[in-house]
Structures are given as C-alpha cells and as structure tokens.
Amino acid sequence: MEKLIASSPIPLYYQLREIVRNKILAEEWPYGMEIPSELKLCEEFNLCRATIKQALDGLVNEGLIVRKKGKGSFVVYRKMAGNFLLEPQFSLRHTQDAYRDYTYQNYAELLFADFIEASAYLIKSFQLAPGEKVCKIMRKHIVGGQPVAISTNYIHPQWTGDILSEDIKDVSIYKYIENLSGKSFTDYKMNVQSVLLDDYEAGELGFPPGKAGLDVACLSFIDKEPVMFVRQLYRGDKCDIRLDFSAFDGLQKMEAIGAEIKVRP
C-alpha cells in the first residue's frame, strides 16, 4: 500500500482517505470486500484510531463503504454497466444487496409529459415559428433505490409520433424515434457543465439544495436535421464521466471517439 508523507501540508487523515479511495475506485478493492480493520490500519500507517476513523468516515459519507456492527467495513461502490450519456434508461429490477441489508430497485418515474410552447432556444435550434409547440418528457431515474438523474427530452413536433400514448417511463426515446422514422441518429452537439442544484432539482434527487450536479445537454440530429434536445441532470456524487479523444495534426486538433457516463448506487 502507498505510504503517507508526514512532512506534507496535506492532513494525514486526508492522505489515507485518498489511498483507500483510489483502491476502491480502481476496483483493486472490489464491491463486497472487507477492508482492513481500523486497528490494522493504525498499525500499518502508525496513526491513532481517531485519524483512521476520520478517514473512513469520509468514505462512508461518499457512499464508498459501509460499516456493519460487529463485522467490519465493506466496499459498496460499484459502477453500473452501460452508457447513460445520451439516455439513462433502467428497466425495473430488484437486487438484493447483502452489504446494505435491503433489496433495491432500478427504474424510472415519469414527472411530466405533454406539449409545451417552444422556448426561444428551441425555436432557434429546431427552426420553428414562434408559438409552435414541442413534446416535453421529464423523467427521474433511480439506481440502487436512490434517485441519481433527471432527464428532460424536448422532441421536434415532426418527430414526435404518438409517443405520449406509450408507457413513457420505460421507453427509450432515441429508439422510439429511430423505429418511427426508419432512420438512425447521426450527429450530436453536447455540452457538459457543473451546476448547483436548485430547490426543485435537489428535492427530486434527494440532495441538499446548493450541492453540485452534472448537467449534460445534447442536441441530436438525423441527417443534419435537429430532432431532439435532451438535458440530463445527475447528482454530482453518483456519476463518473469518461471521455476518449484522438489527436491529429500534432496536438492542434482532437476528436472525441468515445464518451461514457457511469452511475453508481
């Protein structure tokens, strides 16, 4: 295991927390593993029990480990397989989690579905006339029994079909449009930024107001025609984003070749 640097201005508890945290995130210490006891960590790092506890408390608060009285501390961090960058979608699933003592579910809840008057941004993006309406579908996505994302889809009226008659909470909107039109999405313009959650967003995600969220906005095209604008808001503590780029012309240009968001219970 890595060593602490006693001469560093970084507190020892923080150094230890980062050492353990990195092992968990790298999955060197996988889901379900019992981590070394506080006593063993005291001996290995020559630290007092209070410092060890402070380090582990931070990992508990992050949702990376849980303590089970009389048994020890266990890793409960695990990434959910699948790419949720364009559209988080979870079919109903019950899973027993032996380390949290409950059965959890992955699913979506419908928050809103109807036609609304297009905003100035959508009028410009979709090339609509003022007053035209778009289809708005808003859903909350739950992973491991906890809300992790709110997705809002705005669909161009020409590409809506009869989607509002579907069981929308379980529908892949991208696939619905592709099946309806017989065409595939071809291009995406995406913007990712960190935001502070407002009261409504925080309430839906079960997070204190003012906490950080990850805002992923995407305008999607079929054959250069704008079809749908999607805004996804993730809890900042429940997602990881990975972007893959390829450089050409030296380092003058870079092209995205892969992008993925993984969420965790």
Give the separation between CA 185 and CA 173, rounded to whole angstroms.
12
Question: 4-13, 20-29, 249-258: which range is least confident on average?
Answer: 249-258
Residue 92: what pLDDT? Answer: 44
What angle in degrees, to the nearest 10, is found between the helix axes of 49-62 and 38-45? 120
Percent of the residues in the chain that have a pLDDT greater than 70, as a whole number: 81
Residue 222: what pLDDT? Answer: 95
**How many other C-beta atoms can be found within 10 angstroms of the C-beta atom of residue 162?**
8
Check residue 9 and give left, alpha or beta (phi > 0: left; psi -120 to 50: alpha).
alpha
Contact between residue 120 and residue 137 where contact means Cβ atoms under 8 Å apart: no
Which two three-digit tokens encode residue 29?
A: 């210490």
Mean pLDDT of 164-171: 86
Question: At 50, is the secondary structure helix, strand, or coil?
Answer: helix
Residue 45: what pLDDT? Answer: 93
Strands 93-97 and 146-155: what pairing?
A: unpaired
For the chain, state the CA radius of gyration: 22
Which among 258, 191, 187 is positioned nearest to 222, based on CA atoms? 187
Tens of pLDDT, residue by residue over 18-51, are: 999 999 888 899 888 999 999 999 999 999 999 9
Give the separation between CA 93 and CA 248, rounded to whole angstroms.
43
Long-range pairs of 101-106 with CB within 8 A, sequence gap ≥ 24: 102/145, 104/144, 104/145, 104/146, 104/265, 105/142, 105/145, 106/80, 106/142, 106/143, 106/144
Residue 70: what pLDDT? Answer: 87
Residue 103: what pLDDT? Answer: 47
Task: Catalogue the E-assigned strands of the chain.
Answer: 65-68, 72-75, 93-97, 102-117, 133-143, 146-155, 187-196, 212-222, 225-235, 239-248, 253-263
Tens of pLDDT, residue by residue over 210-247, are: 888 889 899 999 999 999 999 999 888 777 676 676 77
Which among 170, 177, 187 is positioned nearest to 155, based on CA atoms? 177
Tens of pLDDT, residue by residue over 104-150, are: 567 889 999 999 999 999 999 999 999 999 999 999 988 767 788 89
Give the separation between CA 87 and CA 83, rounded to whole angstroms.
8
Percent of the residues in the chain that have a pLDDT greater than 90, as a whole number: 52
Angle at 235 between CA 100 and CA 231, to 5 degrees: 135
Residue 184: what pLDDT? Answer: 92
Residue 228: what pLDDT? Answer: 96
Tens of pLDDT, residue by residue over 43-94, are: 999 999 999 999 999 998 877 899 998 899 999 877 654 455 556 554 444 4
